[in-house]
Structure 1
Amino acid sequence: MFWQEDIKEEHFTLPSSIQDAVFSIRSKILPMDHAYLLSQALLKHLPWLAEVNAGIFDISVADGNGWEQDESGLYYPSKRSRLNIRVPQEKLKETQALSGTTLDLGEYSIKLIKALDSKLMSDMQIVFAKRVACDKGVSEEAFLQTSFNQLQALGIQPKKMMAGLERNIETPNGTIHTRSLMVASLRKAESVTLQEQGIGEHRLLGCGLFLPQKGIESVNAV
């Protein structure tokens, strides 16, 4: 854990340059680890995603608690489940045009029922990434130091950070190791920058993508 004193609020106007395209979805069943399958399915329709620093949230992250898991490593998305794709504003309409499309994930599928209102980045002081790519077996201290350096490279001076659960993403090229990260007491401009830019690699697999949180308690519940 890395912790410093709180900061004062400042006036800030939310930019619209980066937005989350949001879709209501229908899917009978999905594997918990579906990041690679989802990214490949979306790239078939939007091949430019890899060129514009886009980010793809896995279904469970985008929806919060809108899923149920069984012991087989599969889960059942609920009617509240959402797919979020973070894209530049100029690509938003093209992304939303996927409404009505069924994504082919091999043995699984995801129907994009409707494009909902897009979401701007938030100026909340606390943001959380379910996955940040890291080396296998890296210590919490080393992970936080690397994250600290990545944040500073974005012009962000982190005051509070907390590392969380470790997870793996399986791909044909090998296993990607990740760890969750909370960053708190951000200035409004810093919060937006972090959500826009993210940290680390594998954004199309949901890594390094941050969502706003109301408090530490909501992070612990993820």
Structure 2
Amino acid sequence: MYVDLNFRLTAQDPVPVDHGYPLYAALSRLLPVLHQQNGIGIHPLQGQYLGDGQVALRSDSCLVFRTHVEQVNELLNLTGKSIQLRRSTILIGVPQLKALVAEPILRSRLVVIKVKGRNAAQLDEKSFQTAVKKQLSACEVSSRSLVEIRRRRTLRIKEKTIVGYEVVLENLAEEESLQIQIQGIGGRRHMGCGLFKGYRTSENSTEISGSAGHE
């Protein structure tokens, strides 16, 4: 059984929008098991976009791990610890466990897939959509589901820039929705990529959940 483990966060200073890699690196220094457990996903932090590549965490901002329940006890060791993201010191609070909920519409802010024969400059929405559909088919998701490729985004890992897209999936059956939330699409789940959650079109567009730079 997979769940979302939510740690409430406290921070005085903003964090970078592109924080997927530094967040993973900071957490791994506190909990080296994150280097070994490839099944653990780390959601992008959510907050209010301030401009200039910065996000302010809110009172309800959380550090969220998508993980199997058997790994929860190890993650609980983060309670009360602090991490540094650029100039921001972030205190990790008490966690709350939440079961995954089947939603007919899911969204991931950034999905990264290595598309054969395409480098970053050649990657376009059409080829990326084909790659997403191929992975959905492997997860036995029906062809009736709709795949919307949205904004092109990037993830910075040291000196390397990874290119991907925001993806919204619609018309999902209950089992399909849960399967996608558990397995994800593409790679770099430990850096916030390919993790899906329920989405409503009325969500505030000024809210940024930033594991990737926006273009």
Normalised by the length of structure 2, the TM-score is 0.85
* Unmatched segments (≥5 aa) in structure 1: 1-16, 61-66
The counterpart of 1:72, out of the listed 27, 52, 64, is 52
Give, in whole Å, the separation in 2 of the partners of 1:80 and 1:216. Answer: 21
Against the structure 1 CA distance between its residues 124 and 219, is the aligned structure 2 distance closer, same or farther, given a 3 Å change threshold?
farther
Give, in whole Å, the separation in 2 of the partners of 1:196 and 1:52. Answer: 13
The alignment partner of 1:149 has SS state of helix
**Corresponding residue number in structure 2 for 1:102:** 82
The alignment partner of 1:142 has SS state of helix
| AA at the equivalent of 1:157 | S
Deviations 1:131-170 (A, max 9, x none): 0014524221111110000111112124211111111111
Count, aligned residues = 198
Contact kept, 8 Å, 2:38 with 2:190, in 1: the verdict is: no
The 5 A counterparts of 1:41-190 are 41-50=26-35, 51-60=37-46, 67-116=47-96, 118-134=97-113, 136-137=120-121, 138-158=123-143, 159-190=145-176
**Corresponding residue number in structure 2 for 1:20:** 4
The alignment partner of 1:157 has SS state of coil
Identity of counterpart residues, as a percentage? 25
Normalised by the length of structure 1, the TM-score is 0.82
The alignment partner of 2:120 has SS state of coil
| AA at the equivalent of 1:201 | G
The alignment partner of 2:78 has SS state of coil
* C-alpha displacement of 1:89: 0.6
* C-alpha displacement of 1:106: 4.7
Deviating runs (4+, > 3 A) in structure 1?
Answer: 215-222
Against the structure 1 CA distance between its residues 221 and 157, is the aligned structure 2 distance closer, same or farther, given a 3 Å change threshold?
farther
* Unmatched segments (≥5 aa) in structure 2: 114-118, 208-215
Give, in whole Å, the separation in 1 of the partners of 2:88 and 2:65. Answer: 19
Give, in whole Å, the separation in 1 of the partners of 2:60 and 2:195. Answer: 21
| AA at the equivalent of 1:27 | A
